[in-house]
Structure 1
């Protein structure tokens, strides 16, 4: 193992460990809420899908990258490389899609109780599960070409290797094809980020207007208690702003990797670290702002309901 790879391997290991612990803790939190009879919010199903997607991103990217940085270079076959990259791309795109869906569903939840919003607020929870499944199905289909661009280190095919990830290679299929692929990926990311920013702007405006109304009713000297909807909205706003920032950086590095021939190891490592940042930090953001901490209150509510 090269000495300079050891610090990078330890960074990957720390990020991967933190990400796995965070996402599995969040899944355990929802299991606890289920078995104690707590009432779920309309956005909880989206968060579960987001957490599963983040786990797959970390396992398909962070684990191989850590192993490669620690000196294990040929642990994946050609088929293994194609499968790992395919799972990573699908789960990464599902993470983008579900984060967008999360912001939109929360914007609908806190929307004003007017006639034009009432019907949408009533129907939206019924279609959340279908939208999540649609996200998975669409990304499974749209990323079907990803394995074509990946080959294992041990492959003896006569191809021009473009990017060395340490354990696999991505290959070039011509400047035009590569540029078209990058353009389509960026167009999709920009579309989802645009929807997220629009929904986030609507939530900020709604919360600001609600706060002004509360201050007018109660007076400026009486602090109003934050509602569960407000806390959930703050959590999603922090999550979306973090996602947009990291996704923008990741897209910039992704363009560099796609355009440059034989990019440097520093560029590859930095791109991998940024790609794994959101799946790592997102569960901690969600748990930090979730007021439903483990307690006996939920179990008490369930037992009370059973006696009625």
Structure 2
């Protein structure tokens, strides 16, 4: 096995080992919460949706890249490439927009009670299913080029001037104009939520500063518990947004480089780096959520305790 393939396989394997259990743990924790409480808060629903999308990113990109790099499975034929690129691009974009949605909702949550922002939070929570549906329709439609122009690199039909090399697959655009239009659309689709979530994070920091100045007396009187919970959740969102901006900023910078520099597509190094940095968010963000989200922690501890009790009962019965 060439050293380049081995290194690529190990990198994607590391993301798979971290991302699959992390996102799966969040999904299990919230489904346990739904089973017990018969409901799910709006913020938790967004986090659950984000974990599902991130899990798909890790599975269809990192896991399959790992299997292909180590020659354990060959899934990158023409049909496989179309499916993988389409699902990956759709879920990657959804991950971006859901992170923005989470930051916007959290920004509304820490707004002063009785303000118009509080009314907007209630409206958003009530219409959350329609927001999810809109985001799915928007991002699946914008990823349709992957189905039309993606082919396996094994068929030998490569147009380097208008192709985007994704190691095992090629996205062969029919013209330079279509390539640039598609690339500009993807960059715009990513930059818009990036700018909005950055703005929401700045507003969160401003709200946190104001709360810190206003609730000192409430804390000393024992009335600042809910504010403290809101502040903890808001800080987690700021961390997620910061992680996103760094990783996807690098990803989009490499994408712009791909579109503007000639003959970069003869090598898949740039595309490998793009996929790695984009998938890194899907693998690392669940760790931030698991460490900081008390509901996820409590559900996972409860599940672990139940498993321990069951194992002890089985051992006693066996005796």
TM-score (norm 1): 0.86
Runs of 4 or more consecutive aligned structure 1 residues displaced over 6 Å after TM superposition: 295-299
Contact 1:12–1:273 under 8 Å retained in 2? yes
Equivalent residue, structure 2, for 1:240: 241
In the comparison of the two structures, how many residue pairs are matched? 297
Equivalent residue, structure 2, for 1:24: 24
Contact 1:74–1:153 under 8 Å retained in 2? no
Equivalent residue, structure 1, for 2:110: 110
Equivalent residue, structure 1, for 2:313: none
Q: How big is each residue's C-alpha offset from its partner over 1:101-139, in whole Å with a ceiling of 9 and x where there is no partner?
A: 111111111111134334323322101221112111211
Contact 2:29–2:299 under 8 Å retained in 1? no
Gaps of 5+ in 2: 304-319
CA RMSD of aligned residues (A): 2.7
Residue 73 to residue 171, structure 1, CA distance change in 2 (3 Å): farther
Residue 266 to residue 196, structure 1, CA distance change in 2 (3 Å): same
Contact 1:73–1:166 under 8 Å retained in 2? no
Which whole-Å CA distance do the structure 2 matches of 1:53 and 1:130 have between them? 17
1:278 aligns with 2:281: yes
Equivalent residue, structure 2, for 1:87: 87
1:62 aligns with 2:62: yes
Which whole-Å CA distance do the structure 1 matches of 2:55 and 2:85 have between them? 14
Which whole-Å CA distance do the structure 2 matches of 1:59 and 1:24 have between them? 11
1:215 aligns with 2:216: yes
Which whole-Å CA distance do the structure 2 matches of 1:22 and 1:16 have between them? 10
Contact 1:37–1:298 under 8 Å retained in 2? no
Equivalent residue, structure 2, for 1:258: 259
CA drift of 1:165 comes to: 2.9
Pairing 1:1-308 to 2, within 5 Å after superposition = 1-37=1-37, 40-71=40-71, 74-155=74-155, 157=157, 159-160=159-160, 162-215=163-216, 227-259=228-260, 260-261=262-263, 262-292=265-295, 293-294=297-298
| Partner SS state of residue 42, structure 2 | coil
| Partner SS state of residue 37, structure 2 | coil
CA drift of 1:237 comes to: 0.8
Gaps of 5+ in 1: 300-308
Q: How big is each residue's C-alpha offset from its partner over 1:66-98, in whole Å with a ceiling of 9 and x where there is no partner?
A: 123224685322111111100111111111111
Residue 7 to residue 143, structure 1, CA distance change in 2 (3 Å): closer
| Partner SS state of residue 86, structure 2 | helix
Which whole-Å CA distance do the structure 1 matches of 2:179 and 2:15 have between them? 30
Structure that is richer in helix per residue: 2
Which whole-Å CA distance do the structure 2 matches of 1:218 and 1:176 have between them? 60
Residue 154 to residue 297, structure 1, CA distance change in 2 (3 Å): closer
Contact 1:73–1:167 under 8 Å retained in 2? no
Contact 2:187–2:252 under 8 Å retained in 1? yes
Which whole-Å CA distance do the structure 2 matches of 1:256 and 1:148 have between them? 23
Contact 1:74–1:167 under 8 Å retained in 2? no
